[in-house]
Amino acid sequence: MTTGEGQTLLGAAVAAVRDCAAQVERCADGLLQALPEVPMEEALRATAIELSAGLKDTSGRVTFELALLQAELDEARTDSMTAVRSLCRMDATMMDALAAVADVVEKLEGAAERDERNERAFVLVIEAAGVMLQGLEKARAATQALSRHCGEG
């Protein structure tokens, strides 16, 4: 990538994807710490903990892929189009992982409606989901801006 604007957009996209992965990891860690202690149905606890572990794993993989991409960019071993495709793939990976949150939130909401003791777990997961989705939206917006600039979108 040769233009200053392109470099700025690339840097912003990399930072946004990195921030998104970090937010997902922080939220997943928080849920993994809180959920075992929160009153809730055991089957839902297992589901929510499994989801959180999966989110943490996904964020770790994206962070690793991002480090590899950054090294390639630093050494000029990749071009802008390859970087755009890699960042779009990372966005999609995070989106797929976060899509599973909706199902768990729905189950937790139903459980909270049946028994108010499940409400705290519902609130924890939905608040974490909101934070993670905001991070994803910022990452996607930055990646899309870069993609448009490079003629990929």
Please name each of the domains of the chain with its CATH number.
4-148 (1.20.1440)
Distance CA(70)–CA(55), nearest Å, equals 22
- Residue 3 pLDDT class (50, 70, 90 cuts): low
**Which pair of structure tokens corresponds to residue 60?**
């770790």
Pair 146, 84: CB distance under 8 Å: yes
Distance CA(137)–CA(127), nearest Å, equals 16
pLDDT tops 70 at residue 97? yes
pTM score over 0.95: no
Q: Average of pLDDT values for 71-86? A: 88
- Mean pLDDT of the chain, nearest integer: 92
Name the percent of the chain in helix, strand, coil, to the closest 5.
Answer: 90, 0, 10
Interior angle at CA 109, CA 103 and CA 115, nearest 5: 140
